Amino acid sequence: MEKLQNNSVEMQGNKREQGDLITFVSMVEVEKARRELKLSQIDESNFSDAEIVLAIQKQKEVNASTVVPIVLDWLVEANFIVSGSQAAAYIRKNGKYAVEGFQYKTIGEMDFDSNGNYYLVIASSTHKKMECIYKVYTNGEIKELVVEA
């Protein structure tokens, strides 16, 4: 992976020139960053090599010891929900959708549609096996799906 870096070079005769210098990030560094994320219990498979390279470059800019704080900042900024259990907990905490006495469970794995990645969360009660189904998007948006009985 590569990145253009702007460098200023002073030549003889006090003439200042601007030039671009290509910097490379080796795949060894990318794999090391993926291991760091995995050790921190962050699913590194959600990030492309290009995103990992950006994290490595940002790590170098801010002199961080690992890419983990960089990725955590991205996740917090984007308000990411990164697991099914977080999606169910997010509904429980959201006053608009939280109903006393309902149990919330994530069904299936993360999926996607035109609005982004989401988890399906089912609400059940002691009276009905399925009261409601919600799409909980990784950015925090919740959409209730209509269920016809």
In this prediction, residue 37 carries a pLDDT of 92
42: DSSP letter: -
H-helix or E-strand containing 7? strand 2-10
How many percent of the chain have pLDDT more than 70? 82
In this prediction, residue 92 carries a pLDDT of 86
Structural domain boundaries enclosing 9: 2-77
Global pTM? 0.50
Whether residue 40 is predicted with pLDDT greater than 60 in this model: the reply is: yes
If asked whether residues 133 and 67 sit together in one domain, one would say: no
CA dist 140 and 114 (Å) reads: 15
If asked whether residues 96 and 64 sit together in one domain, one would say: no
Could you give phi then psi for residue 134, rounded to 5 degrees? -125, 145
User: How many structural domains is the chain composed of?
Assistant: 2
If asked whether residues 15 and 62 sit together in one domain, one would say: yes
Q: How confident is the model at residue 35 (pLDDT cuts 50, 70, 90)?
A: very high
If asked whether residues 88 and 72 sit together in one domain, one would say: no
If asked whether residues 73 and 88 sit together in one domain, one would say: no
Which of 52, 77, 102 delimits the end of a domain? 77
Whether residue 135 is predicted with pLDDT greater than 80 in this model: the reply is: yes
Over residues 92-121, mean pLDDT: 87
CA dist 4 and 118 (Å) reads: 35
Whether residue 78 is predicted with pLDDT greater than 80 in this model: the reply is: no
Which of 77, 101, 128 delimits the end of a domain? 77
If asked whether residues 18 and 63 sit together in one domain, one would say: yes
